[in-house]
């Protein structure tokens, strides 16, 4: 069965090369730099979940739409009822208990880790859903006043269907990034964004940074020697290849064919993905770089990652540095992939960046990232008057 296509170009592929100095953008459970072995060499890696979360935060700021992912939805409702609705604390707490336990998602009683009733699975809802649930509690206030506090095995006095309906609500964030919530019927949303783990285009070594913290009183009095605290932290540096794609058919399906909203959300995602950076260790490293090169391809057939361009690790240029040879390698691979596919499915390709030399293989040069985004969205989803 052939699926319907809503967009002129189905996929918007975005490829980035970004130099990141001494940093640890994404740590593992031992606080070490995440790594991957690729092409027989160890590379520094940043997980797709880490960079996607940073992207989502920027996306929410750009669009003014926010979503909340939490197991503590009942506590959030409780706080709204106390702070905004002036409910008595004990009644608001009871309402939060019955909200948490009243949906199709099972809930856990308070524990040492979580001091209130919490859902077994994280819910992912538009931020206004918390207010909607508070409104539901307001509607059933008399019932809640007569109800007991929740106990293990107890049943909520609030209507499950009404709570589930709120948990099914969506907004642009959820339409784009998707939602998995199997416990509530029809609450799942297929995400339109696919993001790859970022990795360095070249082999990297990690470094241990030894540090000591000075006690200011001891330093001032000078009555003893030694530091107040000693430790070490792992860091690395390098040029990262980053890749993501937006499936416009999925996005338009989630939006029920609303092309204007799809254009807005796709453009905001591309901007957020380009300019976001994970926040780990930011106060100690301030790794706030921008991409050296951004390349966008609009395709009608399937996404095409250029990660294989760096299976053979890039070597530093004669004068040092991995950025320029990485750009050259990306350009060569893009041109080779285009030749191999015979131009199949490629509708538009363009690039922008701080690199000033002429780059072949990445399409038309644009002066700014915003111009690059605008031209890609126009090619994939032409404004209504141009259709």
How many CB atoms neighbour CB 104 within 10 A? 15
DSSP class of residue 256? T
Model confidence pTM above 0.85: yes
Query: Is residue 261 domain-shared with residue 365, that is, in the same domain?
Result: yes
Label residues 286-304 b or e (16+ Cβ within 10 Å = b): ebeeebbbbbbbbbeeebb
User: Would residue 3 count as lying in a domain?
Assistant: no
Query: Is residue 31 domain-shared with residue 90, that is, in the same domain?
Result: no
Please tell me the predicted confidence (pLDDT) of residue 5. Answer: 52
Query: Is residue 87 domain-shared with residue 234, that is, in the same domain?
Result: no
| Residues forming beta bridges with residue 124, ordered by sequence position | 69
**Angle 259-275/369-380 helices, nearest 10 degrees?**
150
Query: Is residue 134 domain-shared with residue 246, that is, in the same domain?
Result: no
Last residue of a domain, one of 137, 170, 203: 170
Query: Is residue 49 domain-shared with residue 87, that is, in the same domain?
Result: no
From first to last of its 387 residues, what are the pLDDT tens digits of the chain?
Answer: 344 455 578 999 999 999 999 999 998 888 889 999 999 999 999 999 999 999 999 999 999 999 999 999 999 999 999 999 999 999 999 999 999 999 999 899 998 888 899 999 999 999 999 999 999 999 999 999 999 999 988 999 999 999 999 999 999 999 999 999 999 999 999 999 999 999 999 999 998 887 778 888 888 888 887 778 777 788 999 999 999 999 999 999 999 999 999 999 999 999 999 999 999 889 889 999 999 999 999 999 999 999 999 999 999 988 899 999 999 999 999 999 999 999 899 999 999 999 877 788 999 999 999 999 999 999 999 987 555
Full residue range of the structural domain in which residue 133 is found: 69-170
At residue 324's C-alpha, the angle toward residues 323 and 327, to 5°, is: 85
Query: Is residue 162 domain-shared with residue 203, that is, in the same domain?
Result: no
Query: Is residue 57 domain-shared with residue 87, that is, in the same domain?
Result: no
Residue in 252, 257, 295 with CA at minimum distance from that of residue 273: 295
Query: Is residue 204 domain-shared with residue 338, that is, in the same domain?
Result: yes
Query: Is residue 239 domain-shared with residue 337, that is, in the same domain?
Result: yes
Q: Which residue has the tokens 């499936």?
A: 247
* Rg of the chain, C-alpha, whole Å: 25
Query: Is residue 221 domain-shared with residue 355, that is, in the same domain?
Result: yes
Cβ contacts of residue 212 below 8 Å, gap of 6+?
227, 229, 230
Q: Which residue has the tokens 């605008």?
A: 374
On whether the CB atoms of residues 306 and 219 are closer than 8 A, the answer is no
240 to 43, 141, 236, 326: CA distances (angstroms): 9, 54, 12, 9
Query: Is residue 58 domain-shared with residue 122, that is, in the same domain?
Result: no
Query: Is residue 166 domain-shared with residue 251, that is, in the same domain?
Result: no
């Amino acid at each position: 069965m052939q699926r319907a296509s809503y967009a002129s170009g189905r996929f918007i592929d975005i490829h980035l090369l970004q130099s990141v100095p001494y940093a640890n953008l994404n740590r593992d459970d031992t606080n070490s730099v995440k790594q991957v072995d690729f092409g027989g060499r160890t590379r520094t890696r940043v997980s797709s979940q880490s960079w996607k979360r940073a992207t989502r935060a920027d996306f929410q700021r750009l669009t003014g739409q926010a979503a909340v992912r939490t197991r503590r939805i009942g506590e959030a409702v409780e706080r709204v009822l106390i702070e905004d609705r002036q409910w008595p604390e004990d009644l608001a707490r009871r309402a939060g208990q019955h909200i948490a336990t009243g949906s199709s998602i099972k809930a856990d009683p308070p524990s040492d880790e979580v001091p209130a009733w919490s859902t077994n699975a994280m819910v992912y809802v538009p931020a206004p859903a918390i207010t909607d649930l508070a409104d539901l509690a307001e509607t059933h206030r008399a019932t809640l006043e007569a109800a007991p506090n929740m106990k293990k095995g107890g049943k909520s006095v609030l209507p499950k269907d009404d709570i589930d309906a709120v948990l099914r609500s969506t907004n642009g964030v959820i339409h784009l990034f998707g939602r998995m919530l199997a416990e509530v019927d029809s609450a799942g949303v297929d995400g339109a964004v696919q993001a790859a783990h970022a990795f360095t285009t070249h082999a990297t070594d990690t470094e241990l940074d030894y540090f000591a913290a000075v006690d200011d009183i001891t330093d001032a009095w000078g009555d003893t020697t030694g530091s107040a605290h000693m430790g070490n932290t792992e860091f690395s540096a390098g040029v990262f290849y980053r890749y993501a794609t937006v499936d416009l058919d999925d996005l338009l399906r989630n939006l029920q064919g609303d092309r204007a909203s799809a254009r807005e959300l796709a453009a905001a995602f591309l901007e957020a993905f380009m300019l976001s950076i994970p926040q780990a260790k930011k106060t100690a490293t301030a790794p706030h770089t921008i991409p050296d090169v951004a390349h966008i391809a609009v395709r009608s057939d399937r996404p095409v990652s250029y990660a294989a361009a760096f299976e053979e690790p890039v070597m530093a240029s004669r004068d040092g540095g991995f950025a320029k040879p990485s750009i050259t390698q990306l350009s060569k691979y893009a041109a080779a992939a285009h030749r191999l596919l015979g131009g199949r499915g490629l509708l538009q390709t363009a690039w922008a960046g701080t690199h000033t030399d002429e780059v072949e293989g990445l399409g038309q040069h644009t002066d700014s990232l915003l111009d690059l985004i605008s031209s890609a969205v126009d090619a994939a989803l032409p404004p209504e008057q141009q259709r």
